[in-house]
Amino acid sequence: MKKWVFLLLILCCLGIAGNIFMNQAPMNRAPMNQAPKVESEKYHQNHKDHIGKRGTSESTKTVTITKEQIYQGNLLLINSKYPVRQEGVKSDIVNLSIHNELVKGYGLLDKNIYLSKEVAQKFSEMVNDAEKEGVNHFLIVSGYRTFSEQNKLYEEMGPSYALPAGYSEHNSGLALDVGSSLTKMERAPEGKWLKENAWKFGFILRYPKDKTDVTGIQYEPWHIRYVGFPHSAIMKEKNFALEEYMGFLKEQKSITTTIDHQVYKIFYYPISQNTKIPVPANGQYEISGNNMDGVIVTVYSGKQD
């Protein structure tokens, strides 16, 4: 009985009517309210100079990417076709209730909310920014779930309300369900604020109302996913679901985006075996797998005059 009361409380907080469903430096900077300018360019996979062009004198080095790295990182596509693997689970999962420094500006539904520490820090920064605009009733309802917890939820709730273990983004530590202590998220100021501003902090609304045919999941105004900046900005500007963004990167191979005078270069590399790829010798970059067939290299290229 207690179990169903708890589940009902979760449903009420969220307003759910359907599926519950290397010198590397972080580059997730909150930008100004400026739309990104995205330029695409084709290149040959064995051409190493593209990393350091656009007028820079940046030298490059090569790093070896193993096939296992396809399944690790912040840009993993997790859906009914591509489940997260155990190696894809964030390594910095913590219990938020015992980390007061992470729980600032928002509440927790209970004392057993787990999440990636990196993601929790970004969420805290985001809700503190929202508070400046008087939006301050955020509540984390659900975060990371182990595979066994997901299986139990699936067995108890059924396929209409839950996903099997591995097929839920909650199994990665990158996703969280956010509620409001005022009302359902689809009506709450918190839900409206997230829809317009989450991208500035590297988050996306994973299951938008106009993308149900792409994601296969009904509209969930409470479910946000961390992908990192500038990817969240590009997805917001182009109105991409994560599935569409991954397809866009594979098609374009290389894109350059300028946001608030900062230049970012993003490269997609298919990986079928251990492969050497070029990266900046001294500059900042990040590498993430896409959970399908390759990796995405994001390079911070500095200021543009």
Model confidence pLDDT, tens digit, residues 116-154: 999 999 999 999 999 999 999 999 999 999 999 999 999
Please identify every residue annotated as catalytic: 220
- Could you tell me if residue 10 is inside a domain? no
Q: How big is the chain, counted in residues?
A: 305
pLDDT confidence of residue 35: 55
- Could you tell me if residue 4 is inside a domain? no
Count of the separate structural domains present in the chain: 2
Q: How far apart are CA 181 and CA 190, in angstroms?
A: 9
CATH value at residue 186:
3.30.1380.10
pLDDT confidence of residue 1: 37
Percent of the chain with pLDDT over 70: 80
Phi and psi, residue 255, nearest 5°: -135, 155
pLDDT of 24 > 60? The answer is: no
User: Which residues form the domain of 267?
Assistant: 34-75+235-305
Position 20 confidence tier, pLDDT thresholds 50, 70, 90: very low
Residue from 37, 75, 73, 48 nearest 247 by CA: 75
- Could you tell me if residue 139 is inside a domain? yes
- Could you tell me if residue 23 is inside a domain? no
Last residue of a domain, one of 173, 207, 226: 226
Indicate the average pLDDT of the chain. Answer: 86
Residue 51 and residue 168 in one domain: no
Q: Where are the alpha helices (DSSP H) in the chain?
A: 2-14, 117-131, 147-157, 189-197, 212-215, 231-238, 242-252
Position 271 confidence tier, pLDDT thresholds 50, 70, 90: very high
Q: What angle do CA 261, 266, 272 make, to 5 degrees?
A: 170
pLDDT of 268 > 80? The answer is: yes
pLDDT confidence of residue 44: 42
Q: What is the mean pLDDT of residues 184-211?
A: 97
47-56, 129-138, 224-233: segment of lowest average pLDDT: 47-56
Residue 147 and residue 240 in one domain: no
pLDDT confidence of residue 204: 98
Position 37 confidence tier, pLDDT thresholds 50, 70, 90: low
The HSE-up count of residue 202 (CA atoms within 13 Å, CB side) is 21
